[in-house]
Structure 1
Amino acid sequence: MNVFKSLGKLIWGNENNPELVQISSGQFYVYTSSRQSSKKCIYIDSMATIRRTSQPHQYHLAVTRVFEEGEEALQDDDQDLDDERIFLIDQSMRFRKGVSAGATTFTWQGLSADDAELQYEFVCDDETTVFTANNFEITVYQCMYERKYQKSHFTAEEEAFEEFQILSPTMTSRAASTSPGATRAATTKDAPVKHEPVVKKEGVRKGKTAGSKIKHEKQEDDDREIDRPELRDAPAKYEGVAEAHGDLCLFDPMTDLFMEQATNVKCQLVRTGPYKYWLVIAASDETQQLAQPLEPRMNPVFSATNISFIWNYFDDKQQVFSWLVRFANEAALNSFQSVFGQCMYETLHKTSWAKVETADQGYIISSLRDDIDMKDSDSEEGDNDYSDEEEEDVEDEEEEEENEFGSDYDEDEDEDEHDDFNDDQVGDNTINSQLAVGYKDRSFVVRGNKIGVFRHNDRDGLDFSTTIKNISNSKGKQLNPSKIVLHEQDTAMVMMDPTDLNTAYKMDLEYGKVVEEWKMPGTSGVLNLVGDSKYAHTTGTQTMIGHSHNAMFRVDPRLSGSKIVESAFKQYAKGNDFTCAVTTGDGGLAIAGSKGEIKLLNTIGKNAKTALPGMGDPIIGIDVTADGHYIIATCKTYLLLIDALNPANKKLGFNASFPADNKPKAIKLTLQPEHVATMKTEVSFTPARFNTGVNEIEKTIVTSTGPYVITWNFRRVKSGHHDYQMKEYADHIVADNFKFGQDRSIVVALPHDVTALPTRHLTSPGQAFKVKRESRC
């Protein structure tokens, strides 16, 4: 296929549109000497655009400064801002594409009298797909062709554009892979578990979000074999549900690329029985490429940006692989995504999709997309925006901290093992199970019937303080707390014991003894207790909120006998299998269930103001911003971020119902399937949390899976950027949460240790996995 001609209609089709192609985010630099001895940043955030001009066959490359919302208003009205640089596209500008520190770059020479000695560089941000970058590069060459030959490029052969391409030094070794004229090699089909490596130029480099960055690259090591999973037998009897065509790629952790396995494959969804579906992919000659049943751990991700579907495949030995199908167009992607969502819903709910209300159907399907943007409600309300000034304050704090401790400060100091706590457990096979972070200066970790007490030091680290041993009730029976909640300004801890779910135990943390037992009969077993409001534990508030699998209620320890407040007790019909709950700053309650549904209410005993349908996966944890604007719900393989503010009436879902045709926005946060393949284990998230603190703006989300701590920048997530950072430990993580009042430090409980992780130690997945890849070479 002629790459240039195939892109022609897409880029050049609308003659009334002056803009041909655009890269929406990047940094713009200038080198002030030919040796690049002096590099200056012109725009820290900018976009690059190729435009038509009024003259035929003449085009401009424009780099425009991008302002953050409200930033322009801060500029001096009389200041003459240079917010755009324009360059005539000509062969003499020596335009070339390169790679710097993993980022795609475009470099060119100035042509005017004022900048003839200058070299310019545009560095693409992480969110720039390689598909977009390649289109940008190709379009520049097409513009050069038209200017030189004064005729349309559509009549030219593909090789005609190669005269305009200049390989940068960093790209020389990849000439075959980056050349727009490079041809595809043949693919081996009917490959066994180990097969000859695919040497096609097309691959996919991991990127910031669902669908990843597309990287066209030829595999350099032609002799190395690529691991490929064994084929499962496809179902013999089935009913076709959906079919789409595209190119099939398999992720290779060694090269960090998706390597093309077959072109023009047939990607089918088939029904094999009631509420049972399979994904079956066959090559153009009907040779089976893979077959697998639909299941949550597939970790499906759809990217409209890259027109691709990425997912995980687990073989019979539980090895994990990551596959990608790149569809021909966005319409095919959207159609397949919609049917896939319906099939997955029926698989998990064991009920017909037709029974789901129309408004709920849209909410469920939209959560599969990777391009949901929540900025609209933020920009209108503005309460939770993380401003540029705040970002600068954080940077200043980090710089001051570095200066205070000096350049010789050992980053590993904050992660020393607490031998005093470990030594106290000699001969004990129990492991850490629960974590509670106080609002003052202490954190608590449960291990069996003991509680380790740790004090936060002034360097955001942890010092072991003491161990509370032999936790027992009033009759001397040993207790092994399964749930813990700090209470009464962190002077007390309320805990549940799995052997008696109708009783809660209040421990005085100063004495280390259980001082009260709260009886709560008639609930069918209390599963969780939470504060009356998000920061109730920072006050002397006595009452709490509790729930069982089908009831919610208020608990008042001052009552005699049963501690349940009868006027604030709500029993639900069967089917409401509640799993967790959380309260907002003003006492609104969000309660979630085993099928993923979430109820929002402001008064216990009354019907929920808002009921959000579930995706079918149990919600194992839930948190909310103090103002109730955002909810983060944790399922085993993904997080669900929900905007609970109705932009139409500015009311929260806790206080007023959403219109049937305007459900809240939801973002599904997942790990990229290729990262899961590199981790070589399925995802199992711990309950995700926002950073906390009275009057503190929520800026970061933290969770973990296996040995990895994972964080998302909350503001970037709301803007549609789902990139994340991570840190790997030597053991699986039991629990994690931010230190109270900031997001610079995360308390991490491992099976046999407790540590404080400075967030500055987190890195991109690429950096985190670099050691893994190098160790396998």
Structure 2
Amino acid sequence: MGANQSTEEVLDAVNQADVDKLAPTPGPGKEGGATKLYKYIATPSGDGNWELASSNAKPRFYDALEDSNASGKKDFFLEIEQGDVDVHVDAELNYVLDVKQRRITFHANGTIYALRFPHDTACRAFGEQLNDALFYNQYGVENDDDSRAKLFEDNAGTLFSKNTDRMFEPMETDDTDEAGAAATPEKMTERRAKDTEKDEDDINGIIMGAGDNNYLMRGRRFDVLRNVDGGGVEDKGVSFTLTPMAGGGATPSLSTRKTRGTAAAAEANAFGAGFTPSKVLLTHGERRMNLLTPDNRHVLHHADIEAGKIVSTFSFQKDTVDIPIVEIASDYKAAQMEEHSQFLGLDQNRLCRWDIRDRRGVVQETPVALDYVAGKDYSRGTNFTCMATSGDGFVAVGAKDGRIRLYNSKTLTQAKTSIPGLGAPITAIDVTYDGKWVLATTDHYLMLVKTTYVDDKGRASNGFESRMGGRGAVPRLLRLKPEDGIRTQGAKFAKGKFTWITEGGQSERWVVAGCGRFSVTWNFAKIRTAGTESIGYGGLPTSMDYVLRSKEEEVVDVAFMHQKYMRDVDQAAMVVATPHSLFNLA
């Protein structure tokens, strides 16, 4: 964090300064001592310090509707008169409760505050009241066993739970040496790989390849990058723009003519000199691309990279009816490196598998309807937002309500495991190659979920293949320290992902995400094997051990290079893109 003071550093110093006043720490039978309120004062340079706002703070929760609502509904606020704090109790508090240090840090009115309690009893009592108030404001019912069971089903003992016995345990304990052996993000060095002029098209994404090339997306244009052994990419000085098929049109299939015309034909005719894709997926040994456009969700463009043009424009159809698809993903982790024609498609209430070959197994070069292989259309309520696959083709799907669904590779008709969320929409999701871990990105935190568990008969199991229920490890939140939330100006997390590997016998080492003008990197091995004393939103254990790197512009994409380009299996390399620059970190 440079010159910035972290919560740990400053409040540990505060703890030391208060030793004489607080020792011996009052036990449950000694309720004496005062609660102190600290305020974080940020400076224009980005530095900041904690100042004592009150040596005798009296925090309380109150119901703002108590005197005016005949319906009996409540709406809880947190008030601390001594610090002029009066804030609605919701996820925007971004609180972190540290039981060991007897303190809670939170956001209120654009400022960060910290309460330090005189003894463990007061700290835990406040934490339980806060958890209950958050639960009621989120769900409109009291936080009891029945309410949690109705909302969270098998996970009622985990989310917003009053039982903290399991919260501080490591998620994994069988490879504790791995965290120390792995290289740490702090040791990465950074160098510029490419700069563009301000008046040129902005960079808006990176398409990473495991072969020789990667592709920098710049509106309608793709710049070709070369992978470099030892970590990093370099500009090849080659660019291309994809154009529609010769003739500018698409030939309708027989089934299409029976309905309302060809969405593919309309799409192809609409673009003369190219288009800006909303999603790009490498395929067929990374010699081709599948592309979606934001203007027409009913079609897929299939491009030949070497030819630099679209060779087919397909309609997404089921039973001769065009259907919308907003997201596509590889059938399994290594599919883009192989001659594989199937891929997954996702819409708000639909998950399905498509094939660009016809039913005879022939790749269709003539623009027709894609072959619908399998899937399920939900009537309503799923609100899917994103998906990712493992090495064996397990599928993890995120949703607008924060729910995570796990599907096996054989069927997409029913999730084997459904993990309730905390209400925040999942904007990106990733799965480790072995399918043992899922990473879900939301605006204010990343959630790490372990999918392996021991079933009731003592057998090792996986949530992708059988119902995990509440038998798995407690999920963990990855988030910023509250004062870093000020430094990043409240920016949202984006595109969280694991290290990129596509073969067994290796292990993902790091996690990375973008956050405004910053990239955030966690040591994955350390996170999953270390305990924590911090509790965040939903009563979940929270990790705030990361490396924050700033850029002059907003980070638009961050991605790991394929692990095969690293000389040391314990290391990793990534590429960070801003609108006008590209950086290598290795």
Fold shared, TM-score > 0.5 on shorter chain: yes
Q: Structure 1 residue 638 and structure 2 residue 445: aligned?
A: yes
Please give the secondary structure, in 1, of the residue aligned with 2:489: coil
Q: Does 1:658 align with 2:468?
A: yes
- Does residue 268 (structure 1) correspond to residue 60 (structure 2)? The answer is yes
* Secondary structure of the corresponding residue to residue 159 of structure 2: helix
Distance of 2:354 and 2:343 partners within structure 1: 5
Letter of the 2:429 counterpart: I
Question: Counterpart in 1 of 2:577?
Answer: 749
Instruction: Work out which of the residue numbers 133, 156, 160 in structure 2 matches 1:365.
Output: 160
Q: Of the candidates 333, 346, 368, which is equivalent to residue 534 of structure 1?
A: 333
Alignment pair present for 1:617 and 2:421: no
Name 1:308's counterpart in structure 2: 103
Shift of 1:663: 4.7
Please provide the CA RMSD for this pair.
3.5
Q: CA deviation at 1:252?
A: 3.0
The answer to whether the Cα contact below 8 Å between 2:348 and 2:385 also exists between their aligned partners in 1 is yes
CA distances 1:465-502 after superposition (whole Å, capped 9, x unpaired): 24544433332613211111221221122111000111
Q: Which residue of 2 aligns with 1:130?
A: 12
Cα deviation code 1:94-138 (max 9, x no counterpart): xxxxxxx999xxxxxxxxxxxxxxxxxxxxxx899838995xxxx
The correspondence of residues 457-476 of structure 1 with structure 2, limited to 5 A, is: 457-458=228-229, 460-474=231-245, 475=248
Query: Is the counterpart of residue 558 in structure 1 residue 357 in structure 2?
Result: yes
Amino acid at match of 1:549: Q
Q: CA deviation at 1:455?
A: 1.1
- 2 CA distance for matches of 1:451 and 1:367? 52
Residues 283-334 of structure 1, C-alpha deviation per residue, up to 9 Å, x if partnerless? 3xxxx621122343432212122222111234xxxxx421111234444434
Contact 2:42 2:49 survives alignment (8 Å): yes
- CA–CA distance in structure 1, aligned partners of residues 301 and 124 of structure 2: 52
Structural mapping, 1:444-459, within 5 Å: 444-458=215-229
Return the letter of the residue paired with 2:305: L
Match of 1:682 in 2: 490
Q: Deviations over 1:619-656 (max 9, x none)?
A: 00101111111111000010101111113432111011
d(CA) in 1 for partners of 2:74, 2:100: 31
Kindly indicate whether the alpha-carbon contact (under 8 Å) linking 2:241 and 2:308 is maintained by their aligned counterparts in 1: no
Counterpart pick for 2:524 among 700, 704, 714 = 714
Aligned AA for 2:580? H
1:485 aligns with 2:281: yes
Pair 1:503-2:313 in alignment: no
| Residue 440 (structure 1) shift | 1.9
> Contact 1:369 / 1:668 at 8 angstroms: preserved in 2?
no
Residue 547 of structure 2: aligned partner: 725
Match of 2:376, SS state, is strand
Question: Aligned letter for 1:262?
Answer: S
The letter for the 1-side match of 2:204 is S
**Residues of 2 paired with 1:715 and 1:131: CA distance?**
29
1:691 counterpart letter in structure 2: T
Q: 1:672 aligns with which of 466, 478, 481?
A: 481
Report the equivalent of 2:255.
none
1:652-672 CA-to-partner distances (Å, cap 9, x unmatched) read 11011124x535420011100
Greater RCO (Cα-Cα under 8 Å, separation 6 or more): 2
**In 1, Cα distance between equivalents of 2:420 and 2:333:** 24
What secondary structure sits across from 1:432 in the alignment?
coil
1:360 offset after TM fit, Å?
Answer: 3.0
Structure 1 residues 504 and 715 mapped into 2: Cα distance closer, same or farther (>3 Å)? same
| Distance across 2 between alignment mates of 1:264 and 1:328 | 10
Tell me, yes or no, if the aligned pair for 1:632 and 1:640 is still in contact at 8 Å: yes
Shift of 1:516: 2.1
Q: How far 1:343 sits from its partner (Å)? A: 3.9
Q: Please, which of 391, 395, 403 is the counterpart of residue 585 of structure 1?
A: 391
Q: Which moved more, 1:439-448 or 1:727-736?
A: 439-448
Output the amino acid matched with 1:681: Q
After TM superposition, the structure 1 = structure 2 runs for residues 59-98 of structure 1, keeping only pairs within 5 Å, are none
User: Counterpart of 2:555 in structure 1: which amino acid?
Assistant: I
Deviations 1:399-445 (A, max 9, x none): 9xx9xxxxxxxx66x21533xxx25xx754x4222221111232212
Provide structure 1 residue ranges, at least 5 long, that are not aligned to the other structure.
1-100, 104-125, 135-176, 184-243, 315-319, 403-410, 759-777
Is 1:298 aligned to residue 93 of structure 2?
A: yes
Do structure 1's residue 735 and structure 2's residue 557 form an aligned pair?
yes
Contact persistence 1:570–1:604 (CA under 8 A):
no
Helix, strand or coil: the match of 1:730?
Answer: coil
Conserved 8 A contact 1:363-1:663: no
Q: Distance in 1 between matches of 2:559 and 2:477?
A: 21
Q: Deviations over 1:67-100 (max 9, x none)?
A: xxxxxxxxxxxxxxxxxxxxxxxxxxxxxxxxxx
Whether contact under 8 Å (2:518, 2:555) holds in the other structure is: yes
Gaps of 5+ in 2: 23-32, 66-72, 249-268, 359-363, 533-542
CA pair 246-348 structure 1, distance change in 2 beyond 3 A: same
Structure 1 window deviating more from structure 2 (510-519 vs 577-586): it is 510-519
User: How far has the Cα of 1:249 moved from its partner?
Assistant: 0.9
The 5-angstrom pairing of residues 114-513 of structure 1 reads 130=12, 134=16, 177=17, 181=20, 246-253=35-42, 256-272=48-64, 276-283=75-82, 289-314=84-109, 320-345=110-135, 347-348=137-138, 354=147, 355-357=150-152, 359-365=154-160, 372=167, 375=170, 377-379=172-174, 382=175, 386=178, 390-391=181-182, 414-418=191-195, 422=196, 427-428=199-200, 430-458=201-229, 460-474=231-245, 475=248, 477=271, 478-513=274-309
What code does the residue aligned with 1:673 have? P
Give the partner amino acid of 1:753: S
2:343 to 526, 544, 557: 544
Distance 1:664 1:727, change over 3 A: same
Which residue of structure 1 lines up, in the alignment, with residue 256 of structure 2? Answer: none
* Identity percentage of aligned residues: 22
Note if contact 1:523-1:551 (Cα within 8 Å) is conserved in structure 2.
no
Q: Secondary structure in 2 aligned to 1:261? A: strand
- SS of match in other structure, 1:517: strand
- Residue by residue over 1:354-387, the C-alpha shift from the partner in whole angstroms, topping out at 9 and shown as x without a partner, is 34246434322269989945646441xx5x9726
Code of the residue aligned with 1:461 in structure 2: it is: G
* Distance (Å, rounded) in 1 between the aligned partners of 2:384 and 2:473: 21
Higher alpha-carbon deviation: 644-653 or 370-379:
370-379
Structure 1 contact 304–370 (Cα < 8 Å) conserved: no
Matched residues in 2 for 1:245 and 1:545: separation? Answer: 58
Q: In structure 1, what is the Cα distance between the partners aligned to 2:345 and 2:100?
A: 43
Contact 1:250 1:259 in 2 (8 A): yes
Q: Which has the higher helix share?
A: 1
Q: 1:729 to 1:440 in 2, by over 3 A?
A: same
Contact 2:401 2:422 in 1 (8 A): yes
Larger Rg: 1
Contact in 1 for aligned 2:558/2:575 (Cα 8 Å): yes
Sort the Cα spacing of 1:496 and 1:374 in 2 relative to 1 into closer, same or farther, 3 A. Answer: farther
